[in-house]
Structure 1
Amino acid sequence: MNCLMLWAHPDEGSYSAALMQRARLTLEQAGHVVHVLDLYRLGFDPVLSPLEKQSYLARTQDNVDALAPHVEALRWAEALIVVYPTWMYGPPAILKGWLDRVMLPGVAFELGGARHRPIRGCLGNIRHFIGITTSGSPWWWLRVIGDPGRSLFMKGLRPLFNLRCRARWLQLHSMNYQTPAARERFLLRVERTLRALR
């Protein structure tokens, strides 16, 4: 299976890096083809520029051409895996900017065609989605505030993928208080989940 992994963390020695490496190794050992987009090391610019905004609907192909390697990777993928730390209740700006700039009309979605109709997904190639994240907040607090990061991916973006897309969310809460043993258990949970990918 073609697996596109988006990793968004500035520190290559972080626990997030360990999660990304374990995820990549597990997928490769299972025989999948893995392409990692390390957004920080790529120097990806998350800012949707005024020029891009002007051409967003009027000349969408200009934006597609400007980000061709990213668009091609998204269209190539059968599984999409995001690995990132939850900051201020959502993904880092570099990952959110990737979504803003790469998930373009005609690439990720089409307009619904009427005022009260939702957009229609264009990424039928994506049959699996896995979110892997950590957060400083405890689980109960995220539930109180509506868990915006999880909602973005599992509710907001999920309809853009294949109708039968299998989606999994793996999150280590209260990150600042987790023991080394708890962190290792979470790594094993990630490994088990990805090993079962078919």
Structure 2
Amino acid sequence: MTHAPAAKALVVFCHPKPDSFTGAVRDVVLERLAARGAAVRLIDLYARGFDPALRLADWEGYLDTPANREPVAGDVQALQWADTLIFVYPTWWYALPAVLKGWLDRVFLPDVAFLMPAGENQTIRPGLTNIRRLGVFTTCGASWWLTAFVGSPGKRILLRGIGLLCAPRTRKVFAAHYLMDSSTPQTRARHLAKVARQMDRLLR
């Protein structure tokens, strides 16, 4: 009997406080990956002091491939190595923290995350076809209905926007703890259990 190879997972963690509840979500994600024998690379954006700003030199060289990836070569290599991409972050103002959005701006480059149009009036093409699993785990101060009313920008960016750049039929999971400011030990425990279930679903 043959078994599918273990996942190669890139976990992108974005929170200024390592032992926050978001950090507890990260720990559950890492525990479930370890239980499945996955190879894991963790990028902790705040711990690294990642500079999210796309500066003039970066912008001017944005289309200059492969030189455009030199300032973020390690992260690009990790992204291209992975078949599983997981984001763990808090939702601020309905969307991604600036550090995480800046990481996307600087790392999801042409000829890395996407291919530029091949002709006039054409669109970009997927570049992350190595990614077959996509997980998004977040917390929200707002309620589910208010987040949905605003349009769930963070969820849409990661699951829909990045999802379109991944392999066809990429498996996707999502879990958010809403109303974090009025959460209780019970709601937080339930959410961590949900994260574990979603991770098992992602890795099945």
Could you state the TM-score of these two structures normalised by the residue count of structure 1? Answer: 0.96
TM superposition shift of 1:114: 4.7
The yes-or-no answer on 1:133 pairing with 2:125 is no
Query: Structure 1: which 5+ residue stretches go unaligned?
Result: none
Distance 2:117 2:185 in 1: 47
Which one of the candidate residues 10, 13, 20 is aligned to 1:14?
A: 20
Counterpart residue number, 1:173: 178
User: 1:42-191 alignment to 2 at 5 Å?
Assistant: 42-57=48-63, 59-114=64-119, 116-191=121-196
The yes-or-no answer on 1:29 pairing with 2:35 is yes
- Residue by residue over 1:125-165, the C-alpha shift from the partner in whole angstroms, topping out at 9 and shown as x without a partner, is 10000000000010101111111111111211111100120
Distance 2:172 2:105 in 1: 21
TM superposition shift of 1:112: 2.7
Alignment size in residue pairs: 197
TM superposition shift of 1:117: 3.4
Distance 1:92 1:149 in 2: 9
Query: Structure 2: which 5+ residue stretches go unaligned?
Result: 1-6
TM superposition shift of 1:67: 1.1
Distance 2:159 2:146 in 1: 18
Could you state the TM-score of these two structures normalised by the residue count of structure 2? Answer: 0.93
- Structure 1 runs of 4+ off > 4 angstroms? none
